[in-house]
Structure 1
Amino acid sequence: MFLKPILIHNKDLLEQCKLGNERAQMEIYRRYYHAMYNTSYRIVKDKFVAEDIMQDSFLIAFTKLDTLNDVNMFGPWLKRIIINNSISAYRKNEKNQEVALEEVLYKVEDDQGVEEDYQWSTIKAAQIIDCMKSLKSNYQLGLTLNLIEGYDYEEICDIMNISYANCRTMISRAKESLRQKLKPIMDH
């Protein structure tokens, strides 16, 4: 007769993590690793750097777990740590940036509404992500945070350290640039 494994809720595991229980920490790591690794990798685009960020971020999370007021918010809290560390690593490793981000963006309000095209839904996500890789680095980062990670403009402003107007303009231009790159794919 086989014993059924007992599923322990994250809340209980996190309480054990606070007490320094390494098995609980490993279980939390196992549960969150894949999603958080993918988040980091989409930003830094280097599997080894993403691995390092994972290790550092989980270490930070486990050592600062007492500062988390609601253990039910562990996932979003950890994701924020991962994203902040990934962006920091991305900025450090960006070798070809010759012009500051603020100099590239213009303080122009974009009042144009963006209509969703039904053809977009037929394009495979992989094709969109491949096209995103060909965009300027700040466009890639902005679209990744907005479209893939689901951050709103205010959160992206904080993460990228830009004004709200610059953020709206950058994302609008990034979407338009992506549309132009996807146009040949949509026309086929």
Structure 2
Amino acid sequence: MKASASNLNQTQIDGNVIDRCKRGDVRAFRELYNAYAAAMYNICLRMTGNVSDAEDTLQEAFIQVHRNIGKLESNTSVTAWIKRIVVNHCLNNLRKKKVYFEEVEEVEVAEEPGIDEDSFTWTVSAVKSAIHGLPQGYRTVLNLYLFEEYSHREIAEMMGITESTVKTQYMRAKEKVRQIVKQQNLIR
């Protein structure tokens, strides 16, 4: 019985499939792609903000994965390696579009007084919509920190900005999400 890519466990992907990919086995690369494409597409979509850019970025990233699979060291996590390639392609896509990341020194971002967040309807769709409505720089930092679980320092290094800028962008992004959700709740 042939196992589908979704049934493969991480050890099989890390070992057997990767070894076959390194030997040029096209079916093995298809298994690798099938195992990771959906998760990596979600990263691309969150970071680029639109389907077309997400699809293009995913394709470019997997072309690089294919070209460089032979360089993957056996002690490296396949998931982390592919994710890093995907995130780097997303960031390159944003740089091409001249996304602006505001350089700031320590800036305090004050919350609005008197916001009763307990009365908000915090639905997944409301939060997704709010995140999608963020300026691209804010959205990128928020996605990298919250969803991709990179540290502020790692984000700063990847983006070529200061750690304090990353922290400020993240704080402002969170506040903007709160404001958007609040507005959505007031409209209802």
Question: How high is the TM-score relative to the length of structure 2?
Answer: 0.80
The residue correspondences of 1:136-151 to structure 2 (distance < 5 A) are 136-151=135-150
**Residue 44 of structure 1 pairs with residue 48 of structure 2:** yes
Name 2:182's counterpart in structure 1.
Answer: 183
**Residue 107 of structure 1 pairs with residue 105 of structure 2:** yes
In structure 2, the gaps of 5 or more residues are 111-115
Cα 1:24–1:179 shift into 2, 3 Å: same
Displacement, 1:120? 9.5
Cα 1:93–1:109 shift into 2, 3 Å: closer
Separation of aligned partners in 1, 2:181 and 2:20: 48
Separation of aligned partners in 2, 1:17 and 1:135: 39
Cα 1:71–1:29 shift into 2, 3 Å: farther
Name 1:56's counterpart in structure 2.
Answer: 60
CA RMSD of aligned residues (A): 2.7
Question: How high is the TM-score relative to the length of structure 1?
Answer: 0.80
Equivalent pair of 1:105/1:166 in contact (CA under 8 Å): yes
Name 2:113's counterpart in structure 1.
Answer: none
Aligned-pair identity in percent equals 27
Separation of aligned partners in 2, 1:44 and 1:18: 30
Cα 1:45–1:26 shift into 2, 3 Å: same
Name 1:26's counterpart in structure 2.
Answer: 30
Displacement, 1:90? 2.0
Displacement, 1:185? 4.6
Question: Could you list the per-position Cα deviations for residues 20-62 of structure 1 after superposition, in whole angstroms to 9, with x for gaps in the alignment?
Answer: 0001001111111111111111111232322222222112112
**Residue 5 of structure 1 pairs with residue 28 of structure 2:** no
Q: How many residues are matched?
A: 176
